[in-house]
Structure 1
Amino acid sequence: MPPSSPPSTTALDGPRTLDVLASLDAQLGTVDPDARALVALTAGEGGSVALTDVELRDDGILEVPGDALGIVVVTSEDVRLDDADEVVSLRQLVAVLPDGTEVGIVRVGDDPQPRTWSTADPDTAGNDPPGSAEGLRPRDVTANTARRAFGLPSLAEVPPVEDLLARAWLLQAAEAGLSRFDSPDGPREVEPEELAHLDGADPLSGLCTTDPDTGEADRVPTWEEVRAAAARGELQLASYTVEPTHAAWLDADGFAQVVDRTLPSTEQLLGTLRIVGEDPLVGWAIGHIAERGWGRPV
């Protein structure tokens, strides 16, 4: 059953969108914190607003109806608010409108009382003070998928591209180590010398050149350059790939977020190296990352 709202057949503004969300929030009741969902808002009968299915394609692109008035996102994040040390859970219903306006109903931590916010006019958005909207806007992949469906910029905490270089190289090392660890005679310890062919290896398919004398990276590519290479189908991250169509659809920040969520963490990769080669192999890998100026993974 579509939620009711004030008549609106061509567009939604902040206050009317909040009415739609409030009606939907009442119908949904308690939502699982792990739930993630996307649904389009379209014009319904008699000036109402209807909920319409959207399609998330296998390549990660979200297709919405051409007459969509907005997209509702059901999502949850663990965040720190106002520089507090404590991490709290934000459970949200958020509407993203084609003009970039965002309106949300959020429950913070264990507080059952919902709060409201709007990027259009925080003063009229309900019970949060002006300026609170920016801190409450969701920064997860689901929300950014909704934004990109309207061609809007992603909102994400983007890691340094050096982090990608380190993880991509460690992934090469981990996969090479595993292939030697599982020998015909059973598992065996892999020595650093067996992976020496990876010294100075470019982890980004030609995007990161190295100085043949020092082994240090001459140049670190930008996230936009990495995204563009992926969109051309020229990026290979060991056994991991990004669909070129998805990379072309994303912006640099959204692409960085997807890659960050896709690749194993440095901790996981170092853990794999510890299994196949124990401390000597881990020490070799950490030293190599540090020498190339990509930081010291811990």
Structure 2
Amino acid sequence: MTSQLDPTTAVDVLRQLHDQLGPVDPDARAIVGLQATGPGAVTLVDVTMQENGILEAPDGSDGLVVVTSEDVAAEDEAEVVTLQQLVCVLRGGAEVGVYRVADGDDVAAWSTADPDDLDAQALRPRDAAANTARRAFGLPSLVDVPPVTDLYARTWLLAVTGEAVERFDAADGPREVDPAELAEVAGRPPLGDGLDPTTATWDDVHRHAREGTLELGPFTVDPAHADWLDAAGLAQVLDRTLPSTEQLLATLHVVGDDDLLAWAIGWLTERAWYQPG
């Protein structure tokens, strides 16, 4: 289904919404539908977000407006600035947006439908809210996908750290954990059987998530949500959900000592799952 809402009208609507909303909290995220009602005329329509994260775009909606903000590098790349954006994802795949620098007054627009707009691709937001809107129309996510080895590092550390914390909290009081105590859990496949750490790709991880066979320790992925996402979108969800490698290593250091931390880093680097900074 193609959109009945043209990009020029969508930009005009975004400018009006920008003026009506006024200052927006940079942490605010919102999605609302747009439906064309006549030449140059639209109406706002509600959208439904299921508990598992699937966004339902109403039948007949022509676009989804996303209120979002992103930190981006300035032109000289010497500093980071916050861009506050209103973006409209059109059902046919085109995107338009209006944006301003946080605390600034000037509002500019971009459109992927304009072949002369050389900045449009760079300005398209890559955050989860924008990608949720894209997936509601079956469009590909726009994500700077981390290497799949990062997922292996974090899930391996989740298992090892969880075991270490249990042993640290001994019945007779806290005690430092020795690496030898963690050998058994360290040798388990980080994401479960069927995923070879030496060859697995995000497509493989996505397939296992859709089938409900992806193991993430205490974390879970709803198979229906995984099926609704594409592989890049799933990578973004997992990147936002799982504790970082640095957080998990810091926890290990608390329950062990320098030897435990060195053992964990050595295990990861030996498998090329982690490159210490």
TM bin (shorter chain): over 0.9
Q: Which residue of 2 aligns with 1:88?
A: 81
AA partner of residue 263 (structure 2):
W
Q: Which residue of 1 aligns with 2:46?
A: 53
User: CA separation in 1, counterparts of 2:177 and 2:14?
Assistant: 57
Alignment of 1:112-151 (within 5 A): 112-121=105-114, 123=116, 130-151=117-138
TM-score normalised by the chain length of structure 1:
0.88
Q: Which residue of 1 aligns with 2:265?
A: 286
User: CA separation in 1, counterparts of 2:212 and 2:57?
Assistant: 25
Q: Does 1:155 align with 2:134?
A: no
Query: After superposition, what is the alpha-carbon deviation per residue over 1:136-171, rounded to whole angstroms, capped at 9, x for unaligned?
Result: 100000000000000000001100001111111011
Q: Which residue of 2 aligns with 1:259?
A: 238
Maintained 8 Å contact 1:77/1:138: yes
Match of 2:221 among 242, 252, 258: 242
User: CA separation in 2, counterparts of 1:70 and 1:112?
Assistant: 26
C-alpha deviation, 1:295, in angstroms: 2.7
Is the partner of 1:156 in helix, strand or coil? coil
C-alpha change, 1:80 and 1:273, in structure 2 (3 Å) is same
Q: How big is the alpha-carbon RMSD for the aligned residues of Structure 1 and Structure 2?
A: 1.7
Q: Which residue of 2 aligns with 1:198?
A: 185
User: CA separation in 1, counterparts of 2:155 and 2:76?
Assistant: 31
Q: Which residue of 2 aligns with 1:165?
A: 152
AA partner of residue 268 (structure 1):
Q
User: CA separation in 1, counterparts of 2:276 and 2:209?
Assistant: 25
AA partner of residue 66 (structure 2):
V
User: CA separation in 2, counterparts of 1:122 and 1:277?
Assistant: 57
C-alpha change, 1:61 and 1:255, in structure 2 (3 Å) is same
Maintained 8 Å contact 1:139/1:156: yes
Maintained 8 Å contact 1:38/1:54: yes
AA partner of residue 183 (structure 1):
A
Q: Which residue of 2 aligns with 1:179?
A: 166
TM-score normalised by the chain length of structure 2:
0.94
Maintained 8 Å contact 2:85/2:97: yes
C-alpha deviation, 1:25, in angstroms: 1.1
C-alpha deviation, 1:79, in angstroms: 1.4
Structure 2: which 5+ residue stretches go unaligned? Answer: none
C-alpha deviation, 1:117, in angstroms: 0.3
AA partner of residue 191 (structure 1):
D
Is the partner of 1:95 in helix, strand or coil? strand
Maintained 8 Å contact 2:5/2:35: no
C-alpha deviation, 1:122, in angstroms: 5.7
| Residue identity (%) | 56
Query: After superposition, what is the alpha-carbon deviation per residue over 1:97-146, rounded to whole angstroms, capped at 9, x for unaligned?
Result: 011110100112432211110000165xxxxxx21101110000000000
C-alpha change, 1:259 and 1:222, in structure 2 (3 Å) is same
Is the partner of 2:221 in helix, strand or coil? coil
Is the partner of 2:257 in helix, strand or coil? helix
C-alpha deviation, 1:199, in angstroms: 3.6
Maintained 8 Å contact 2:163/2:185: no
Maintained 8 Å contact 2:160/2:186: no
